[in-house]
Chains A and B, each alone.
Chain A
Amino acid sequence: MNLIVRLGAVALALVPLAQLSAQDEAGKLTIGGYGEVHYSNSTGPDTPGLVNVKRFVIYAGYAFNDRITLHSELELEDTKIEGGQSGGEVALEQAYLDYRFSNAFTLRTGLLLPPIGIINETHEPPSFNGVERPDFDNDVIPTTWRDIGVGAVGQIPGVNGLSYRVFLVNGLKAEGFTAEQGIREGRQEGKEASFANPSFTGRVEYAQAGLKVGGSFWYGGTANQVPGLGTGAFDAPVLVVMGDARYDNGPFMLRAVAGTIEVYDADKINAVYGQGVGRRIAGGYVEGGYNLLGFLAPKSSQRLNAFVRYDHYDTQAKAAAGTPDDAALARRITTFGLTYKPLWNVAFKADYQLCDNQAGVGENEVLALGVGYQF
């Protein structure tokens, strides 16, 4: 009884605090988010147009104090999940604590984003041209790639513009590797993830006004102690090496990503799982854009970007020993379209894609429309 009264006193003491944080004048709690709604229509007689709320993401951040902060994103894909139906996903996309010691060193722990390429870290829809993310950022770099780990981020002292991020994270599982999408389904995404193969990932980046270039890597085993692949921490290793560049001088925009993924024991992995994953997965994309309002309406602060992107990649750039090379996996995708941005954080998009491959089979064209926002 006595204890209940005292607990009640504690609860009462907490009430005003709870109200304060809900009002949160000081901005300690932040709600944000981003989302995108898509329409797409492939050529062909049996391909009706599709509309979809591709992503709806709620962001919550909290500053425990000036140095310790929480950042989280909860994502809903395809509007809902329903038993027995395919598609749809509710997922925690990020949830990490930052402990900032100095500009050169912030400790980051939790579910975090490997800093590989451009889109994996910066994927808010108004930040990129095109309705869908570049295909390279789906089939080669498996965005949104997130895993659980610990590491450090910061600016490299003494060199203005240079920064780094480096993390120890849970590894990929070879079980999910495929010929078409490489390592994509090998991600564990922090769901009761096996830590049999601790992996390293990191990035060094140089930035100036209008320019950013970066190099990133991932290295780790994927065997997950499966017979035939090995029990060591670095058995069935995968190495990812990517380079990227972004240039933006006002009206002109240019960006490019290129790199390679080495699946060293692809033959052993295919012997166990039979999925035909490539020994090497490689390629990239390059995209140029121009803000038409720069000369149509120079006074306007809105943007109308005309852009063209060329994706060129092969998930069997080198087929594994014992696996026939499928030329249809050597993909070439040209995307051109418009992005209208009345504000920097709202985008209306339209594009047309020409999808081609080295085998010349299953060629396809896609019209896509979309809206995206972030706040």
Chain B
Amino acid sequence: MGIRRDWLLWSLVGFLLTSHVSRLTAQDAPAKKVQASLARVFGDGALADTVKVDDAPVLRVERADSLLGYAVVRNVKGKDQPITFLVAVDPGDHLKDVDILVYREPYGGEVAYDSWRKQFRGKTAQDPMEVGKDIRSISGATISVNSVTVAVRKAVADLTAWHAAGKLQ
């Protein structure tokens, strides 16, 4: 009886600890999703290596020694869950595409639709990228639309600044 109770108690402790550890790592995008996204944005055969800029990983994308561009994978909070997205730019700092890698919220998943994401293509850090201006909203997805737009603007600004400072070598 006593042994059985021990077993139950320590199982409980173990479960709580391990479940907590798994929670800490829950927001990463699976590597194969990132790969698939890069292949979609840059075309087949695109290879990425990681450059560290101020401890943040930036993906440098090449095919047969020619530079295709750069990408970052980031999280932004929607209403209550992180939205994991990828922003890719070409070597001239023009936004190639935005990709929603993991969407976890009950509402607002429309930000993953191509009709919404394609509004960002060709933008640069000089463009406003503001909801209601050059980015149209989607009714019922207001929170996600606003948070992803702000986060994409920040990502493009970062990549452009790092590129200009020569940090993406």
A residues neighboring B (CB under 8 Å): 2-3, 6-7, 9-10, 13-14, 17, 20, 26-28, 30, 32, 59, 61, 63-67, 69, 71, 96, 98, 100, 103, 106, 108, 118, 121-122, 126-127, 153, 155, 160-161, 163, 207-210, 212, 246, 248-250, 255, 291, 301, 303, 344-345
Contacts and interface: CB of A to CB of B under 8 A. Distances in A.
Q: How large is the interface on B (under 10, 10 to 19, 20 to 34, 35 or more residues)?
A: 35 or more
B27 A26 contact: yes
Contacts, number: 135
Which 8 pairs of residues, A with B, have the shortest CB-CB distance? A30-B80, A61-B80, A246-B139, A210-B136, A208-B115, A66-B26, A209-B136, A209-B116
A172 to B, nearest CB: 24
Given A6-B5, A17-B16, A30-B79, A153 B106 contact: yes
A211 B136 CA distance: 9
Nearest to B16: A17
A42 to B, nearest CB: 31
Given A26-B24, A71-B80, A250 B136 contact: yes
B5 A65 contact: no
A344 B79 CA distance: 14
Contact of A66 (B2, B27, B139, B146): B27
Contacts of A96: 106
A27 B27 CA distance: 10
23 contacts: A13-B13, A13-B17, A26-B23, A27-B77, A30-B80, A32-B79, A63-B80, A63-B81, A65-B22, A66-B102, A69-B106, A71-B106, A98-B106, A122-B140, A207-B113, A208-B138, A212-B140, A248-B136, A248-B137, A249-B136, A301-B130, A301-B132, A344-B146
Interface string B87-106: 00000000000000011101
A17 B133 contact: no
A61 B135 CA distance: 28
B141 to A, nearest CB: 8
A10 B23 CA distance: 20
Given A10-B12, A14-B16, A17-B16, A103 B103 contact: yes
B52 interface: no
B116 A66 contact: no
A365 B104 CA distance: 45
A57 B137 CA distance: 25
Contacts of B53: none
Contacts of B13: 9-10, 13
B40 to A, nearest CB: 14
A121 B106 CA distance: 11
Contacts of A10: 9, 12-13
B51 interface: no
Contacts of A127: 139-140, 142
A345 B131 CA distance: 13
Contacts of A71: 80, 106
A97 to B, nearest CB: 10
Given A17-B20, A301-B130, A32 B136 contact: no
B79 A155 contact: no
Nearest to B75: A27
Interface string B7-29: 00100110011011011101100
A117 to B, nearest CB: 11
Contact of B115 (A121, A122, A155, A209): A209
Contacts of B143: 345
Nearest to B117: A209
B119 interface: yes
A212 B107 CA distance: 14
A74 B57 CA distance: 40
B104 A69 contact: yes
Contacts of A103: 103, 109, 112
Contacts of A32: 79-80
B146 A6 contact: no
A255 B106 contact: no
A275 B148 CA distance: 50
B106 A208 contact: no
Contacts of A20: 20
A195 B102 CA distance: 36
A65 B6 CA distance: 27
Given A63-B26, A163-B109, A208-B115, A248 B104 contact: no
Contacts of A255: 139
Contacts of B116: 208-209
A287 to B, nearest CB: 12
B62 interface: no
